[in-house]
Chain A
Amino acid sequence: MTDVLPPGRYFTDGNFASTEGAILAGCRFFAGYPITPSSEILERMSKRLPEIGGHFIEMEDEIGSMAAIVGASNAGMKSMTATSGPGFSLMQENIGLGMITETPTIVLDEMRAGPSTGIPTRVGQGDVMQTRWGSHGDLAPITYSPNSVQESFDLTITAFNAAETYRQPVIIASDQVIGHLSETLEVKSEDEYEIVQRQTRKVRNGSEDVYNYSDDFVPMFVSGTGFRGNVDSLTHDEKGYPSNEAYVEKKMLEHLLNKVRKNEDKIVKYEEFYLDESDIVVVAYGITSRAAKYAVKIARKEGIKAGMFRPITLWPFPEKRITQLSQRTKTFIVPEINYGQYSHSVREVGQIETKEIHFTPGAVPDYKVILDQIRRSVS
């Protein structure tokens, strides 16, 4: 077997696709802890990484897994973990570490029914706000939401590229259904994919600093290459040294937030259907978007001016586009497998009537519920 999955058409599931997408993106270090429904990613990594000279370690918990991938990334390796709700909760601490130390790494959270242990084998979308606000302090996270096996592959590559470009942990918020459903995956040849390679600095050039807060991107140094830098979980200045000063916090934090905010146009991705003259726009993501698309198609056949907007990056929030849409539509409908999370952001930004559909975690969303809401919104 070559390092990456050979090009071709595969009939496979989201977990397989995520794993192979990660390997194609250059992931050579995986640390994880088994958890339903993402365990197949860990299992496949345990087989695939050693055979291509990479490293796999099954850690004692998700806290250790997250710490290990941040460590490995600092030593120069593209790294990743995969988990689900309970494990994602435990990872928040070191996701924050990755954010403040500007360490690229990937966390795939395959959402299941919660809270707490919930229903491990059944779908949910209750971690959406946790991918935004889960770790304490101010953050500007980047979260991708695949809705197919194909996107599980493609977006994992995109996520690795974003992690390298913006030097921070990037989250893939998948869900149990996407992880486990099987459908066609088309893989192109390796050279057809754009891969962002890690940029690094080695021996320190005079008084060169570890960070530069006026720059969106400064290459990181790699452990053991002579840079002699300090990487710190405490608020730090550009030298990498800890500080208790509010002005240092301001400088560091605004750099951390702005490197994403200033580049939102480059990061934000979405997909739209039937948005021409639509009075009603269904905003849906992940597995729910597939039920929503079907409902919108039927509504259009019935002559209802309904459309669909699917955020592919949940965060940064596609603020510009939602604002534009809100100016020419009457109603947003936000179906989610939770009791109202993403809908809050849609309402806050759109400032128009925003109806929530609460699918109870544990079952695949029924398109009829969305269709009914579309019909009711017309009358």
Chain B
Amino acid sequence: MTSLEFHPKHQYVREERFPHVWCPGCGLGILLQSYIGAVEKSGIPQDNHVLVSGIGCTARIPGYVNMDTYHTTHGRAIPFATGIKLANPDLKVTVISGDGDLFNIGGNHFIHAARRNMDLLVICSNNFNYGMTGGQHGATTPPTSKSASTPYGNIEPAFNLPHLAYALGASYVARWTVMHPRQLVKSIKTAMEVKGFAFIEVLSPCPPNFAKFNGFADGFEEMEFYRSNSIVRNEAKLDDISIDPFHGKPVVLGDFVNRKRASYVTLERELIKKSMEGSR
């Protein structure tokens, strides 16, 4: 066999599981590629990485990755991952899931994991709607945009996810799109080195749903719209970066936060040490 018969990242994927479930024009293939690119660059052995997801299109990513992977219940990836991380703090535990999973049904778990500064990397693919169930609106759907359940336009405000994560105390916060794969790989790799809670929002198109409902011809056109309506501002004020390109406001991207805060695992280790000494 020549090396040409294998994809360079062959060892990181379960080839027998392909083709994948995603639609033509979806961004999740790029996110999958970016994650394993970061794993490769991380210097952490492949078997020390664990990937956990909830339910939805993004949550199917772990199923294609050749490591210990957990496809859990809707919204519960973060507490499940918390259990794994505490049981074995030596593992690099990443949660990869969609905006609906992490911020609608799973919102409570997100805010508490970030508050605890739990040693997890959470990557959220944000496509502004529930993709797998047919494009209904959720907590990240931009105001006025249409979805399968907002036929007259969305009247709800949307989450500003980096601002939320920062306010809760996350050690690391970034936002990219799948049209920024190099920055994204770098960002995920950096986040893997963080002690504490790291959060990356990744904008991704949803061709059959959000794109269709909001006048984009396909996924690429939707992505191109975000790319050409976005700016990189690492030093951006996070309260001012809500996503609303439909009203002339560019999407702000960047590696916004990388700060040192005592992480949960660090503090728990100290607590256990002190408690074990005290008990003798």
Contact = CB atoms under 8 A, between A and B. Distances in A.
Co-assembled chains A and B: yes
A57 B82 contact: yes
A213 to B, nearest CB: 19
A224 B76 contact: no
Contact of B276 (A50, A75, A77): A50
A64 B86 contact: no
Contacts of B43: none
A226 B66 CA distance: 10
Interface in B47-96: 47-48, 50, 52, 55, 62-63, 66-73, 75-76, 78-84, 86-88, 90-91
Contacts of B47: 224-226, 228
Nearest to B54: A233
B63 A241 contact: yes
Interface string A94-117: 101100000000000000000000
A328 to B, nearest CB: 47
B109 A64 contact: yes
Interface string A225-252: 1111111111000000110000000000
Contacts of A50: 271-272, 275-276
Interface size class of B (residues with CB under 8 A): 35 or more
Contacts of A228: 47, 66-68
Contacts of A59: 79, 82, 112
A127 B261 CA distance: 43
B106 to A, nearest CB: 9
B108 interface: yes
B237 interface: no
B48 A29 contact: no
**How many A residues touch the partner, as a band?**
35 or more
A287 to B, nearest CB: 32
Contact of A233 (B71, B78, B112, B279): B71
A67 interface: yes
A230 B90 contact: no
Interface residues of chain A: helix, strand, loop or mixed (majority): mixed
A157 interface: no
Nearest to A57: B86
Interface in A83-138: 93-94, 96-97
A147 interface: no
A53 B90 contact: no
Contacts of B50: 223-224
A97 B86 CA distance: 19
A260 to B, nearest CB: 22
Given A52-B276, A224-B90, A228-B68, 20 more contacts: A57-B82, A61-B108, A63-B79, A64-B76, A64-B109, A67-B76, A67-B82, A68-B80, A68-B82, A71-B52, A71-B82, A73-B87, A77-B87, A94-B72, A97-B76, A224-B91, A228-B47, A230-B70, A232-B70, A233-B55
13 contacts: A31-B79, A31-B82, A60-B112, A63-B76, A67-B82, A72-B86, A77-B87, A224-B47, A230-B62, A231-B68, A231-B71, A232-B70, A233-B71
Closest 7 CB pairs of A and B: A71-B83, A75-B87, A72-B83, A64-B79, A68-B83, A50-B275, A67-B79
Interface of B: 14, 17, 47-48, 50, 52, 55, 62-63, 66-73, 75-76, 78-84, 86-88, 90-91, 108-109, 111-112, 268, 271-272, 275-276, 278-279
